[in-house]
């Protein structure tokens, strides 16, 4: 089997690593960064973790802090204008997946021109772009290590998947100490996003020995550390384990793929503004049950790795325990159903056929062990509505 492996050129991993951001730029021959972040990172002072070491290294950075959760083409275009107004030689994405994905999309659009929609899959955004250095503060999307960015087309309410070498950061700083301040709700949502990345990479039709190793490690780390990180925000071991697991899960799906959960999750996010990890969590148990028997040995191994099943459990039992374990995880992390989240039932029913169209069009369901028909996706949207 021939495998293509994508990863950033350099990653600094560990507590306090963000303090080396100035030296990192120096090693890469860069000196004029535009830092892309969100308003909370700026107002809370968390951005100082990035700006202080840059200043100490004598680097004057610009700041674009207008990113929004689940970034849009409109915000990316505003970011490109800010980028073109200065003489920058790189972008630093600092924050959760939203600012980092915005920085990636700005680099792509600034270099290639046109509209964001021109770059969505099946197009491949491989053209040279300004280098992006990614510094995640959630654990997390794994976007610091992936060749993807997800941008909402505001006119069409569609979350577009954009893939290619131009979306792969040149370097990343993975510093778990930046996540101590993440509130429990976001810890849960981003943690389930990571778990979904690892599990989907592992059961995907595009799984391979390289992605498998990363997915296995990520599932074990996340299975062990997600609940403690949710319950005790300053639990150092839990935060460190989650950050490592999130980045490994990102590398796993970047070199394999995501599958049906992500395919169905993006339309929920686009139409109903549900945070990405939360819409994954709403779907994960039901989609796992739907897919289980088409990759039973893989799901069973996943169950043992995340700690839902005992090492000696036979595959059928371990698989069943995985679905139950994911339901229990949702209860422990207080994950609401779409109904309990407050989505309008009339709008949900009116949109579900379109959401199934958009899920299929993204290509992700085709990587699932059980490839669903349109009406099966609609039935899954029905099944998760109120649990």
Residues that bind ligand NAD (CB under 6 A): 38, 40-41, 46, 69-71, 95-98, 101, 137-138, 140-143, 146, 148-150, 178-179, 181-182, 186, 190, 193, 276-277
Show the tokens assigned to 366.
């085709």
Question: Helices 73-84 and 97-112, interaxial angle, to 10°?
Answer: 60
In the bound state with Fe ion, the residue whose beta carbon lies nearer, of 8 and 53, is: 8
Return the one option of Fe ion, ligand NAD, none that residue 291 interacts with (CB less than 5 to 8 A, by type): none
In the bound state with Fe ion, the residue whose beta carbon lies nearer, of 191 and 319, is: 191
Distance CA 387, CA 309 (A): 23
At residue 65, the 3 state secondary structure works out as coil
Distance CA 88, CA 149 (A): 21
Q: How far is the CB of 25 from Fe ion (least distance, A)?
A: 28
Number of H helices, E strands in the chain: 15, 8
Q: What residues between 183 and 242 interact with Fe ion by CB under 5 A? A: 193
Return the one option of ligand NAD, Fe ion, none that residue 65 interacts with (CB less than 5 to 8 A, by type): none
In the bound state with ligand NAD, the residue whose beta carbon lies nearer, of 138 and 255, is: 138
Count Cβ atoms below 10 Å from residue 104 Cβ, excluding itself: 32
Q: How far is the CB of 304 from ligand NAD (least distance, A)?
A: 25
Q: Which helix (H) or strand (E) holds 333?
A: none
The 3-state secondary structure of 285-311, one letter per residue: HHHHHHHHHHCHHHHHHHHHHHCCCCC
Q: At residue 171, what are phi and psi to the nearest 5 degrees? A: -150, 160
Q: How far is the CB of 194 from ligand NAD (least distance, A)?
A: 9
At residue 366, the 3 state secondary structure works out as helix
Return the one option of ligand NAD, Fe ion, none that residue 98 interacts with (CB less than 5 to 8 A, by type): ligand NAD
In the bound state with Fe ion, the residue whose beta carbon lies nearer, of 193 and 240, is: 193
Name the residue whose CB lies closest to Fe ion. 193
In the bound state with Fe ion, the residue whose beta carbon lies nearer, of 80 and 134, is: 134
Which positions lie near Fe ion, rule CB under 5 A?
193
């Amino acid at each position: 089997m021939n495998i293509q492996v994508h990863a950033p050129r350099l990653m600094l991993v560990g507590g306090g690593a963000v303090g080396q951001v100035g030296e990192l730029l120096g090693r890469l021959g860069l000196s004029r960064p535009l830092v892309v972040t969100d308003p909370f990172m700026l107002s809370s002072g968390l951005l100082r973790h990035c700006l202080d070491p840059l200043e100490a290294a004598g680097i004057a950075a610009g700041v674009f802090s207008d990113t929004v959760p689940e970034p849009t083409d409109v915000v990316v275009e505003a970011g490109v204008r800010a980028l073109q107004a200065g003489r920058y030689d790189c972008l630093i994405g600092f924050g959760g997946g939203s600012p980092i994905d915005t920085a990636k999309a700005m680099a792509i659009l600034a270099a290639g021109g046109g509209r964001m929609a021109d770059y969505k899959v099946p197009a491949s955004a491989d053209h040279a772009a300004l280098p992006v250095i990614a510094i995640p503060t959630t654990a997390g999307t794994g976007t610091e290590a992936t060749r993807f960015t997800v941008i909402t087309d505001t006119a069409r309410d569609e979350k577009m998947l954009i893939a290619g070498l131009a979306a792969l950061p040149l370097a990343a700083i993975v510093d778990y100490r930046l996540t101590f301040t993440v509130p429990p709700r976001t810890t849960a949502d981003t943690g389930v996003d990571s778990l979904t990345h690892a599990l989907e990479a592992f059961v995907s039709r595009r799984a391979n020995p390289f992605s498998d190793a990363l997915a296995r490690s990520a599932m074990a780390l996340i299975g062990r550390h997600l609940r403690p990180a949710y319950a005790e925000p300053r639990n150092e071991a839990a935060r460190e384990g989650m950050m490592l697991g999130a980045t490994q899960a990102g590398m796993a799906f970047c070199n394999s793929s995501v599958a049906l959960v992500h395919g169905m999750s993006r339309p929920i996010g686009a139409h109903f503004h549900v945070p990405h990890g939360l819409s994954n969590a709403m779907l994960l148990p039901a989609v796992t049950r739907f897919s289980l028997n088409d990759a039973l040995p893989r799901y069973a191994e996943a169950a043992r790795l995340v700690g839902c099943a005992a090492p000696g459990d036979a595959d059928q039992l371990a698989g069943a325990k995985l679905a139950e374990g994911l339901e229990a995880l949702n209860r422990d992390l207080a994950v609401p159903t779409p109904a309990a989240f407050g989505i309008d039932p009339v709008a949900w029913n009116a949109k579900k056929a379109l959401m199934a169209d958009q899920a299929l069009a993204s290509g992700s369901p085709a990587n699932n062990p059980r490839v669903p028909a349109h009406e099966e996706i609609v039935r899954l949207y029905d099944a998760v509505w109120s649990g």
